Amino acid sequence: MNTYRALEVTGSHDFRLVARELREPAPHEVRVRVEYCGVCHTDVLAVEGLRADPSRPVVPGHEIVGVIDAVGPGVRAWHVGERVGVGFLAGHCGECDPCRRGDFVNCTDQEQTGTTVDGGYAEYVHARTSGLVRVPEGIAPAEAAPLLCAGLTTFTGLQQAGASPGSLVAVQGIGGLGHLALQYARSLGHRVAAIARGAEKEELALGLGAHHYIDSSAQDPAAALQALGGAAAVLATASSGASMSPLVAGLAPRGRLVVLGAAPDPLEVRTTELIFGSRSLLGHLTGTPIQNEDNLAFSVANGIRPRIETVPLADAPKGYARMLAGQARFRVVIDAAA
């Protein structure tokens, strides 16, 4: 076989199923036979033409699990047959100033999988070795895929929040990110509050690990958090600045609002809410490959799993549409072999 199937997108929302030529991996690169690829909201950067050059075809997808089937020159630590993951950050350079200071997430010479380089809506993907994640035994590849982005982002976001075990941690939104954040927060020993719209979501939230449920359509979420003693941290996962803004007032002294969901509208915060109580806002973007391995190990040990629905590769555009419309429960995963 010298070709493979890939769903590339050009311009805005112009999907095409094409045959790509199978090439050998470049130096310090591996070729991965894709098994599964999660569909993430960040895929809008590619699909909706929100990248530097939308006229250039690109294959979306950055929650990739597959098996290495070829290694390029100079590759020493990775081998054919290993199951690996590839996330949103496509591999740091190791030479820029952030890398030299150990800040690999903010590498200035790092591609974005599925946005600036081809991703996992395909049967094969090429990946820089510095961006690879080893996938452990004990978790199905289809379930591991969403953990590489949605899972990693919420897991490391909780770590950035700095909340101690036993403290109140709130999760705003019960979607692709939020349904995992509730599981992580409970497993890390926090007292967990879920914030969402509608009483019908309470049973789901409690089943995912929440101790408390706050219906933001029926009560002031900040007042509800203060009635519980104030949140040491709030993980804002819903893509709405308007729904995030009131949550600052629900923080305990020195509490942190950790913004994980990318919203089109701005956050609006009163300066007094930050100053009195020494509260802070923090934006957080994913994590490093080794942190992703820690994330997968923690997930296996604590039974943390995404709730997924799978679609065959040819139906990836339909899966993307379900995600964008908020109809997925909770992550769409592409089966590249189907």
33: CATH? 3.90.180.10
Could you tell me if residue 288 is inside a domain? no
CB 178 within 8 A of CB 242: no
Q: What is the CATH number of the domain that holds 189?
A: 3.40.50.720
Average pLDDT, the chain: 97
Is 122 found in the same domain as 69?
A: yes
Does residue 11 sit in the same domain as residue 57? yes
Q: Determine the Cα–Cα distance for residues 181 and 184; give it in Å rounded to an integer.
A: 5
Strands of 280-283's sheet, edge to edge?
Answer: 212-215, 191-196, 168-172, 231-236, 251-259, 280-283
On whether the pTM is more than 0.85, the answer is yes
Q: Are residues 32 and 118 in the same domain?
A: yes
One domain, residues 21 and 132: yes
Residue 232's CB: how many other CB atoms inside 10 A? 22
**Cα gap 67→337, rounded to integer Å:** 12
User: Is 294 part of any domain?
Assistant: no
Task: Reply yes or no on whether the pLDDT at 154 is more than 90.
Answer: yes
Report, as an integer, the average pLDDT of 217-244: 96
What is the model's pLDDT at position 293? Answer: 98
- Same domain, residue pair 127 and 36: yes
Are both 13 and 97 inside the same structural domain?
yes
Q: What is the pLDDT of residues 278-306, one digit of tens each?
A: 999 999 999 999 999 999 999 999 999 99
Q: What is the mean pLDDT of residues 266-285?
A: 96
| Whether 44 and 96 share a structural domain | yes
For 98-139, the pLDDT digits (tens) are: 999 999 999 999 999 999 999 999 999 999 999 999 999 999
The share of the chain scoring above pLDDT 70, in percent, equals 100
Domain of 249 in residue numbering reads as 151-283
Domain count, the chain: 2
Residues 241-261, mean pLDDT to the nearest whole number: 97
Q: Return the structure tokens found at 210.
A: 């929440």
Whether the predicted pLDDT of 36 surpasses 90: yes
Say if residue 257 is in the same domain as residue 320: no
Residue 1 pLDDT more than 90?
no
Do 45 and 120 lie in a common domain? yes
- 186 with 62, same domain? no
Q: Do 104 and 64 belong to one domain?
A: yes
pLDDT digits (tens, 9 = 90+) for 167-209: 999 999 999 999 999 999 999 999 999 999 999 999 999 999 9
